Chain A
């Protein structure tokens, strides 16, 4: 499904004389994207994070797990760009490897949340009667159940791991998607073009596929991007608390956690993962904002 903006060519001025308000000053989709600072900065950061995760799969300057006690807690140098931690592991390599964890948890938890939340939201919008109410109440119950608590329960039941973090965050974001999907779908379902579609015999499922989903897709994608950044934040928090990634493996949360013991000796050790977290979260939020801003241009007319 095309999520790209339609090409906005030069305005047509044939026939009826009604002014064109929006289309005039704006170029094609990608050019508008480049002219939108938050979208531009957001996408640069997103590309950086994704690239570092991908590169770290095959190459990091040092193995993120390689211990070198003789060079423990060495500051930034040419050999170790961002220095080493308390076991002499290369911080830069560990930061890179950590972006894998962040992306893994972010992508999977958002996928879980959308896989359940979007269909449930569509159902709640289509069936406004008892079924819709049941779906909404279930979402409310889930909403009242914090991700942290879910993570503690899951970690207690299955042991702390990346998968429990994914599950906990994913489940806790389901209600967000139920609500966003439902409210946006309701707007589309109440529109005259859906009424027109019904008048030429389109059935509910086809209306969902042809009208509702394409029209709410940009909002959903913006929301996904936003929740992705929140998921990264939640993941680092859970790791920090020891409910996620187990210690030898690298993640921004565990790095932050272990660095706090050396805050006095080597404060930079705390700075690096923090910067990574902030950048990543900021990047994906800006990216999401960019998408919704571009969408607004066409939303108003």
Chain B
């Protein structure tokens, strides 16, 4: 497991969104969350929609700053930093989004989609050569480079999105529900591809999901979020064997009955 150094250190992070609506003044997306991700780890962040998973991914990417608390990457605080100071971080941490339809610019050919991160990060490489390599590593034909993303199916698009994330040779891959927008029939293919790539490129994986079956297959440890609160964390096997929290048990059941969960647990997100 995580014998290596700490990659991400999330310390007492809260994120509050202020809305302009007159009814709800502020939404607490994350509330005092603390955990860390070790090198070579594969960590799942699970929870139902609205639990703060995606907010957490944006904080880990330093695309947003936490309201309080700090997010560190290899001992360096990354939140609220100037983009110039983040250049190296941007190269090392990449993301695959949920919906490859909206995460790939419809106006760019696959070649440009894959070359853009290299150009933006000023990575010295033969662009065409690198694009071919990337397409091959996600098992797409090299000829795909001349097409547009909308000419591919959902699964193929997600392969392109994964290839884009691999472009800068990152050490961390954040996957934000990478298969939940896909056809059930192609999910397994994409998950297998992810597993292989994580192994081949020695990636640290942060896998955001609500699907416990997938998580069990892919991840060593799990963080459970419920309404912005970290309610349980642990190694995958232990957590599956003896979940402490009711909510975790509910998640482990194939189809969590969210209404029943609410009735028994009240609204923990508002307590603090």
Contacts and interface: CB of A to CB of B under 8 A. Distances in A.
Interface of A: 6, 8-9, 11-12, 14-18, 20, 23, 191-193, 195-203, 206, 210-211, 214-215, 298, 301
Interface in B179-194: 183, 185-186, 189
Contacts of B167: 200
A200 B120 contact: yes
B189 A16 contact: yes
Chain B residues touching A, range: 35 or more
A199 B147 contact: no
Contacts of B98: 192
B211 interface: no
B153 A18 contact: yes
Contacts of B130: none
Interface in B88-122: 90-91, 93-95, 97-99, 101-109, 116-117, 120-121
B102 A17 contact: no
B148 interface: yes
Contacts of B26: none
Nearest to A206: B120
B155 A199 contact: no
Given A17-B185, A215-B105, A198 B63 contact: yes
Interface of A, helix, strand, loop or mixed by DSSP: loop
B153 A17 contact: yes
Contact of A298 (B83, B106, B109, B185): B106
Contacts of A9: 147, 151
B185 A195 contact: no
Given A12-B151, A15-B155, A210-B116, A199 B105 contact: no
Given A12-B152, A15-B155, A16-B155, A199 B61 contact: yes
Interface of B: 58, 61, 63, 83, 86-87, 90-91, 93-95, 97-99, 101-109, 116-117, 120-121, 141, 147-148, 150-156, 161, 164, 167-168, 183, 185-186, 189
Nearest to B183: A18
Contact of B183 (A8, A16, A195, A201): A16
Contact of A16 (B61, B120, B148, B154): B154
Rank and list the top 6 A-B pairs by shortest CB-CB distance, nearest first: A16-B155, A18-B153, A201-B90, A200-B117, A192-B103, A16-B153
B189 A200 contact: no
Contact of B151 (A11, A197, A202): A11
A208 to B, nearest CB: 13
A16 B100 CA distance: 14
A298 B151 CA distance: 10
Contact of A199 (B90, B99, B108): B90
A201 B116 contact: no
Nearest to A207: B120
Contacts of B108: 214
Contacts of B156: 12, 14-16
A146 B154 CA distance: 49
B148 A6 contact: yes
Given A15-B153, A211-B105, A301-B101, 12 more contacts: A6-B109, A12-B153, A16-B155, A16-B185, A18-B186, A23-B150, A195-B103, A200-B90, A202-B116, A215-B105, A215-B107, A301-B150
